[in-house]
């Protein structure tokens, strides 16, 4: 398994170059980020996240000076609150693009669906940008999208409307999809089916997410989340009533509990969070597609007491199971 926590030296240098352009010396900010003796080696995602925050504070820009206007500190958090209650990923992405268009002015993002593919393109208004600018935009946008849906969104291709950076194979490795440079426009493509994914996060979960940002979006968006995928796959093929304890799961995956916990954490996940996401998905689907009582749904999802399910549901969606069922039925009648 590749180490998802490591950020290539090239991406660190990209961030430092934004400081030099702003007329600032990198040394003090490297020290503040816990990298006082950085020697050009890859760094872990936590260190890169701290450096990102230090640069944002020093320059007044969470987008490394890569937009037509600065993305003032605090904008990322406001973006997350703006999309949290979108209900579905297509609406969340539409809101996120509008937000970023207002904040940055350019590059300007637009979402289009055609031939079963979702395409997000970036227009520059005639101004060329670096690969680092486009990569940062994709990390912000898709890092939030993956978190909202509780799963990785596999990309089909990524196009850059700029020349390929020299000696930077890391751009090809990072996305886990074919990457093209010198394209007519910067574009990111994925299966349109992802747009129908429900938003499974709550305001309480968002508070935790923001405490760990931006380091967590670096691992959530990374293409190679092997451990999380393995855990989700195992749970999806097992009745929730029979879901294993963490120790039992580690035996099934042939790793120690400590190693499994560390690997999940490196991917921005925890076992309880994955179980909660799958139960939230299951609850939403059962309420919309069956006439099972709330107590029966609670039992199917592995809750011994309906009251525990009620509390969890309120935490996930901010409303009761009955309210969600009523609203889905109204939607079907008017649709």
Element (H, E) at 18: helix 9-21
pLDDT at 212: 87
pLDDT in tens, 135-182: 999 999 999 998 898 877 878 899 999 998 887 778 877 887 889 999
Q: What confidence tier does 126 reach under pLDDT thresholds 50, 70, 90?
A: low
Lowest-pLDDT range, 24-38, 78-92, 263-277, 294-308? Answer: 263-277
Backbone angles phi, psi at 296, to 5 degrees: -65, -40
Give helix 306-317 / helix 321-334 axis angle, nearest 10°. 60
What length is written for the chain? 335
Q: How far is CA 42 from CA 4, 31, 250, in A?
A: 12, 16, 29
pTM: 0.69
- Select from 5, 79, 64 the least CA-distant residue to 29: 64
From CA 114, how far away is CA 317, in angstroms rounded? 31
When the pLDDT of each residue in the chain is averaged and rounded to a whole number, the result is 87
pLDDT digits (tens, 9 = 90+) for 174-208: 887 889 999 999 999 998 988 988 898 888 889 88
Q: Angle 151-6-119 (CA atoms, 0-180°, nearest 5)?
A: 40
How far is the C-alpha of 269 from the C-alpha of 216, rounded, in Å? 9
pLDDT value of residue 151: 77
Provide the pLDDT for residue 2.
Answer: 43
- pLDDT tens by residue, 42-74: 898 889 999 999 999 999 999 999 999 999 999
Taking the C-alpha atoms of residue 86 and residue 254, their distance in angstroms, rounded to an integer, is: 39
Mean pLDDT of 88-113: 96
Query: Which pLDDT score is estimated for 139?
Result: 94
């Amino acid at each position: 398994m590749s180490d998802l926590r490591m950020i290539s030296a090239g991406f660190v240098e990209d961030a430092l170059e934004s400081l030099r352009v702003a007329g600032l010396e990198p040394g003090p900010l490297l020290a503040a980020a816990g990298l006082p003796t950085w020697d050009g080696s890859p760094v872990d995602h936590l260190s890169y996240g701290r450096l990102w925050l230090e640069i944002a504070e020093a320059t007044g820009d969470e987008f490394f000076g890569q937009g037509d206007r600065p993305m003032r500190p605090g904008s990322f958090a406001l973006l997350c609150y703006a999309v949290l209650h979108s209900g579905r990923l297509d609406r969340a992405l539409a809101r996120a693009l509008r937000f970023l268009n207002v904040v940055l002015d350019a590059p300007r993002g637009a979402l289009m669906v055609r031939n079963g593919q979702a395409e997000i393109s970036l227009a520059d208004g005639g101004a060329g940008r670096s690969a680092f600018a486009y990569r940062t935009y994709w990390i912000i946008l898709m890092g939030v999208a993956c978190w909202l849906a509780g799963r990785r969104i596999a990309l089909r291709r990524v196009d850059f409307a700029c020349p390929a950076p020299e000696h930077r194979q890391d751009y090809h490795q990072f996305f886990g999809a074919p990457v093209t440079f010198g394209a007519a426009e910067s574009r990111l493509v994925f299966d349109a089916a992802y747009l129908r994914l429900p938003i499974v996060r709550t305001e309480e979960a968002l508070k935790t997410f923001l405490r760990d940002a931006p380091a967590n979006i670096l691992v959530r968006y990374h293409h190679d989340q092997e451990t999380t995928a393995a855990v989700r796959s195992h749970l999806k093929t097992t009745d929730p009533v029979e879901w294993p304890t963490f120790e039992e799961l580690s035996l099934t995956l042939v790793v120690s509990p400590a190693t499994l916990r560390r690997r999940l954490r490196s991917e921005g996940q925890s076992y309880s969070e994955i179980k909660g996401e799958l139960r939230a998905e299951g609850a939403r689907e059962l309420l919309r597609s069956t006439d099972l009582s709330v107590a029966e749904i609670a039992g199917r999802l592995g809750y011994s007491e309906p009251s525990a399910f009620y509390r969890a549901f309120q935490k996930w969606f901010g409303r009761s199971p009955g309210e969600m069922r009523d609203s889905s039925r109204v939607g079907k009648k008017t649709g």
